[in-house]
Amino acid sequence: MTAGEGARDRDAAGAGPQQRPAIAPVDLGRIHVPTPVMLSPMAGVTNWPFRVICESYGPDGLYVAEMITARALVARNPKALRLCRFAPSEHVRSLQLYGVNPAIVAQAARMVVDGDMADHVDLNFGCPVPKVTRRGGGSALPWKLDLFRELVSQVVSVCSPAGIPVTAKIRIGIDDEHETFREAGHIAQEEGCAAVTLHARTTAQYYGGHSDWDAIGDLVGELDIPVFGNGDIWGADDAMAMMRETGCAGVAIGRGCQGRPWIFADIRHAFAGSGERVNPTLGDVGDVIMRHAGLLTEFFDGDERMAVHDLRKHIAWYLKGFAVGGAARKAFMECETLDQVSREIGRLDPAMTVPERMIDKPRGRVRYAKKVHLPYGWLDTRETTHEQRETLFGDDPMDAGY
């Protein structure tokens, strides 16, 4: 049983009041984070409209932009540049970079520094998606210790003189037989990272099963820099349990906020010692949807169609738990304009609420990797061969397009 499972099982059994975990601000270089809560970068989700909504509910934490492909940024791909935008209201501009070639990622970091594009850079070593891992990227990369060290070192050397802290997002490893998180954590610390975030699953687990909070506790015990825990935080009580059980410096919220940006309000209340929680009516949620739609329209430079298409997945998440019926959900998926979205919202029962039994339940798809896709011979050694580097760097895993 993992630490997270144990905490939730005991809570469900009504084990009475739990000891309050130690919660303190976190300093990442010159960036002071008053409340150690992070919005995890999620591809296709955490653009600035969604970040602004989350931050409006939450504490003064870190709200990280979705993954930016380094090669695309270096090539000044329009979509990459759009994803680098921040709203004027964002307190700390946190940007996540992804790449495999240290030189290319360092070049992207140089663009960030010279263009004053961000206050904080996170490095993606946690993505389990096959199109990334099959070319040695994401959660596959820390297996190659030399490549991981070189990439982290080069980015820190670019960002550090500008006072921009660098952090790293990692997973436990490739699978149960090929763990990487301890070595990766130590290397990140040695090369100057200000913190690490551990998604307590392996690549093979993808987003299925239970995250292993014990691994978070292990990494906390091994490192001197702050460790943020990530995985299976579906509500404020889970966040408190993770802090209590692992001793982590802070929590990172991923799928738990999809369609529920107010989870950050719940965590803010919980960390302040309050039992107050948000359980919005469907009318309240409709207002959030329309606000989100308006912000997305601004994000897409006035293109309502693109905004509404991007909004569709969010609407599915926003409506999760509400008894609105399949016809209503289908109607939203066919919307093309803001007026059509507003019309469908007007047909819902504004007084409806989510049943108590559905609150703080897992969100998003529970998916397992059928197979971990890696470069040929990747697991044979912990170092990259000359041939592997030629293959990886000669044909970058993510080209300049999106």
Catalytic sites, residue numbers: 127
The C-alpha atoms of residue 170 and residue 193 are separated, in whole angstroms, by 12
Neighbours of 312 (CB within 10 A): 14
What CA–CA distances, in Å, run from 245 to 158, 237, 254, 327? 36, 12, 19, 43
Cβ atoms of 164 and 110 closer than 8 Å = no
The C-alpha atoms of residue 351 and residue 281 are separated, in whole angstroms, by 6
Strands of 85-223 (E only): list them.
Answer: 94-98, 120-125, 166-173, 195-202
Cβ atoms of 341 and 316 closer than 8 Å = no
Report the candidate in 113, 173, 116 with the shortest Cα–Cα distance to residue 142: 173
Residue 391: CB partners within 8 Å, gap ≥ 6? 375
Cβ atoms of 39 and 64 closer than 8 Å = yes
The C-alpha atoms of residue 246 and residue 311 are separated, in whole angstroms, by 35
The C-alpha atoms of residue 398 and residue 73 are separated, in whole angstroms, by 11
Residue keyed to tokens 């995250």: 211
Residue 165: CB partners within 8 Å, gap ≥ 6? 28, 29, 30, 31, 120, 121, 159, 194, 195
